[in-house]
A = this chain, B = another copy of it.
């Protein structure tokens, strides 16, 4: 399954990527092609669609009928046609206003693939063989920000919500990286949001991979070191109970860190980094050749 979805050299673009990027072109070409013969199938009964490089079908969401009876008829006719063409996966994207079509799609053998607030993606695998359609996103990504000033004070916060609420534990600012956001940018943003302090991103010192974290998904949690560019603290009222510059010696001595082997390890490499005994990964803007925009490659120093 996975192998089919990471086909680009040393890159991991899945099949859909190349499709979705030029999906308008695909549909335009497909409509032109579909003006020809359909081997006995009635043209007007076939839902507008495009074909991907994996013998799959992408139904054009802008060509969906509004009423359920028409959709049921067209979907059945289309599935018969695509079956006859020996197509493999069928992708059906239903925008939120087409929620009235969900039940009919499930009754026609579709299952859910993924969803975003504005749409639901369903798939149906046509062949008898097991599906090789790629899964949806598997990980959330978080950051912790170690920010030490020239007085050996750590930027520390207490949180208003969550399991540490009311515990009195001082921790590094943490947060989730948004879809589409670079890790280094997410770290700088979280520090600014929670404490008001401006920072410059330095390195990723290490990361933890956890499983069954959010909605059974996995989690990558990057420990980052940042350099403070300002010192005044303006704490975020909604999320943060308290924020302060705290002597590193006191911060790291908290039993919370000392009693958990992973948290202690994270703390140790943060300190080793500030003492010049540790090198993490830094972001480098480079071009993959597969996408127009550059992206960032994180690596350590070559000696």
A16 at the interface (CB under 8 A from B): yes
In the complex, A152 has a CB within 8 A of chain B? no
A199 part of interface (Cβ distance < 8 Å): no
Is A266 part of the binding interface, using a Cβ–Cβ cutoff of 8 Å? yes
Does A242 belong to the interface (CB within 8 Å)?
Answer: no
| Complex contacts, A261 vs chain B, CB 8 Å | 286-287
Residue A196 at the B interface, CB < 8 A?
Answer: no
In angstroms, Cα B83 to Cα A48, docked, is: 42
A residues contacting the other copy or chain, number (CB 8 A): 129
A265: chain B residues at CB < 8 Å are 284, 286, 297, 299
Pair B9/A263 contact, Cβ less than 8 Å = yes
Distance, CA A53 to CA B166, complexed state (A)? 13
- Inter-chain contact A18/B163, CB cutoff 8 Å: yes
Residues in B whose Cβ lies below 8 Å from that of A259 = 289
Q: How far is the CA of A193 from the CA of B5 in the complex (A)?
A: 14
Give the number of copies in the complex: 2
Q: Find residues 162-213 in chain A having any chain B CB closer than 8 Å to their own CB.
A: 162-165, 169, 171-172, 174-183, 186, 190, 193-194, 205-213
Q: Contact between B176 and A239 (Cβ–Cβ < 8 Å)?
A: no
The residue on B at minimum CB distance from A179 is B138
A98 to chain B minimum Cβ distance, whole angstroms, is 10
Q: Which of A30-38, A58-66, A69-77, A109-117 contacts B (4 or more CB under 8 A)?
A: A109-117
- Which chain B residues border A120 with CB–CB below 8 Å? 112, 115, 120
Please list 21 pairs of residues, one from A and one from B, whose beta carbons are closer than 8 Å in the complex, sorted by A's number: A5-B175, A5-B176, A8-B163, A10-B221, A11-B174, A12-B143, A20-B215, A112-B115, A112-B118, A134-B176, A136-B215, A137-B215, A138-B177, A138-B180, A139-B141, A179-B217, A208-B288, A208-B297, A209-B295, A261-B286, A262-B287
